Amino acid sequence: MYHTFTITIKIEMLNRLIANILPRMPKKLVWVFSKRYIAGETIEEGMLASKLLNENNIAVTIDLLGEFIETLGQAEENKNQYIEIINRFTDENIKGNFSLKPTMFGLLIDTEVCYSYIREIVALAASKNSFVRIDMEDSQCVDREIDIFRRLRLEFPKNVGLVIQAYMRRTLSDLEALSELNSKESPLNFRLCKGIYIEPENIAFQDFKEVQQNFLDALDYMLKNKMYVGIATHDKHLVNESYKLLEKYKVPKDKYEFQMLFGVTPDLRNSIVKRGHLMRVYVPYGKDWFGYSTRRLKENPKMATEIIKALFVRG
Ligand SMILES: Cc1cc2nc3c(=O)[nH]c(=O)nc-3n(C[C@H](O)[C@H](O)[C@H](O)COP(=O)(O)OP(=O)(O)OC[C@H]3O[C@@H](n4cnc5c(N)ncnc54)[C@H](O)[C@@H]3O)c2cc1C
């Protein structure tokens, strides 16, 4: 018992150590481990991965990697890339929609420019009967991202959705405030996840169980108020509790979905698909994979072992 405890502590320390040195490791080395979480660097690779998932009865949401840009020129370039993505993916009839991070369009440089670029993307998606999800980024972005969502929702009620992070203490009051936009014809469409950024204790729950509880409270609120939810988690406990809530509110199958990240917990993913629930996988691709990967690596509890395996076993 004592021996197992000591080994667990040592692995945790090793994980933390690797997490801290990762951003300083050579990119090629990080790629060895990262590639399982990323469809590739090109749009063709993103489309191929999506088609394979579609063949396995799984929908996708496409994400072009990149965030926290420095110039508005980069923002425009990103907008143009999203326009191409939407055109190519819809032309190929890929079963999926699109996710984007507002900081890629200049959220922290010029909010109005950012809004106008995202509006252009959502308008194109709407013209193709598709959908754009606004990812939620760190706490400095939350108010601005909610505001952009509110404005777009008024114009495109069926084509835009937002992410809600369960670790934020404000989550339930955000949901209450947003509920005024909910309607029977166009239910609000949220992705509910735990949240991935490092946030201070005064604004975000730090305790694992508290985050789980807030996730379930938020899910309960959304289902009770007939909002559409993308239940985005790989946490078995949350998946099982979600089944119970779906049953409790007798939610029809077309009023929710499960979502997972590309390359994470495929067994759990398949078990959800087998039960007949809609599953959507978040498919990130692009040249800017480094920031995304290091965040994924940091949150993976088995990271140390996986990296060592990736480096030494798979060469
Ligand atoms: C579709 C989708 C979209 C997301 N969008 C956002 C967003 O917009 N904003 C945001 O802040 N966060 C986003 N996230 C990330 C999310 O907030 C969590 O950080 C992440 O999903 C891990 O939480 P979890 O619920 O899976 O629970 P955890 O307790 O972290 O994980 C449960 C189990 O899943 C497995 N697992 C989890 N992550 C990994 C991994 N990287 N590698 C291998 N195994 C792993 C492990 O076995 C772990 O024990 C998104 C997640 C998903 C699934």
> Other C-beta atoms within 10 Å of 221: how many?
18
Residue minimizing CA distance to atom 10 of ligand 1 = 195
Residue 81 near residue 74 (C-beta atoms within 8 A): no
**Taking the alpha carbons of 12, 14, 15, 21 in that order, is the dihedral positive or negative?**
positive
pTM given for the model: 0.91
Q: 194 C-alpha to center of ligand 1: Å?
A: 7
Which residues does 26 contact at the CB level (< 8 Å), separation at least 6? Answer: none
Q: Which atom of ligand 1 is nearest to the CA of 167?
A: 17
pLDDT digits (tens, 9 = 90+) for 128-156: 999 999 999 999 999 999 999 999 999 99
225 or 6, which is more confident: 225
Q: 89 C-alpha to center of ligand 1: Å?
A: 25
pLDDT of amino acid 298: 67
Mean of the pLDDT values across residues 245-256?
A: 98
Residue minimizing CA distance to atom 13 of ligand 1 = 195
296 or 260, which is more confident: 260
Residues with CB under 6 Å of ligand 1 are 135-136, 163, 165, 191, 193-197, 232-235, 259-261, 264-265, 282, 296, 299-301
Residue minimizing CA distance to atom 42 of ligand 1 = 300
pLDDT digits (tens, 9 = 90+) for 80-109: 999 999 999 999 999 999 999 999 999 999
Q: How far apart are CA 115 and CA 106, in angstroms?
A: 9
Catalytic sites, residue numbers: 135, 191
Q: Is the pLDDT confidence value at 49 over 70?
A: yes
- pLDDT classification of 294: cutoffs 50, 70, 90: confident
Q: In 118-264, at which residue ranges do the beta strands (DSSP E only) sit?
A: 132-134, 160-165, 189-193, 228-232, 256-261
pLDDT digits (tens, 9 = 90+) for 201-249: 999 999 999 999 999 999 999 999 999 999 999 999 999 999 999 999 9
Q: How far apart are CA 26 and CA 24, in angstroms?
A: 7
Backbone angles phi, psi at 134, to 5 degrees: -85, 110
From the list 181, 125, 135, the residue with the least C-alpha distance to 161 is 135
- pLDDT classification of 305: cutoffs 50, 70, 90: low
- pLDDT classification of 314: cutoffs 50, 70, 90: very low
Mean of the pLDDT values across residues 154-171?
A: 98
Residue minimizing CA distance to atom 8 of ligand 1 = 135
28 or 238, which is more confident: 238
Residue minimizing CA distance to atom 12 of ligand 1 = 195
Q: How far apart are CA 214 and CA 139, in angstroms?
A: 17
pLDDT of amino acid 313: 44
From the list 162, 170, 223, the residue with the least C-alpha distance to 193 is 162
Which among 163, 193, 205, 292 is the best mutation to test ligand 1's pocket, defined by most ligand atoms within 8 Å of the CB? 193
Q: 113 C-alpha to center of ligand 1: Å?
A: 30
Q: 2 C-alpha to center of ligand 1: Å?
A: 30
Least confident range from 59-73, 246-260, 298-312: namely 298-312
3-class state of residue 182 by DSSP: coil
DSSP character string of 32-95: HHHGGG---SSHHHHHHHHHHHHHTT-EEEEEE---S-S-HHHHHHHHHHHHHHHHHHHHTT-S
Q: Which atom of ligand 1 is nearest to the CA of 194?
A: 17
Cα of 151 vs its chain's centroid, Å: 21
Q: Which atom of ligand 1 is nearest to the CA of 166?
A: 17
From the list 297, 232, 236, 292, the residue with the least C-alpha distance to 260 is 232
Q: 255 C-alpha to center of ligand 1: Å?
A: 22
Q: 265 C-alpha to center of ligand 1: Å?
A: 10
- pLDDT classification of 10: cutoffs 50, 70, 90: low
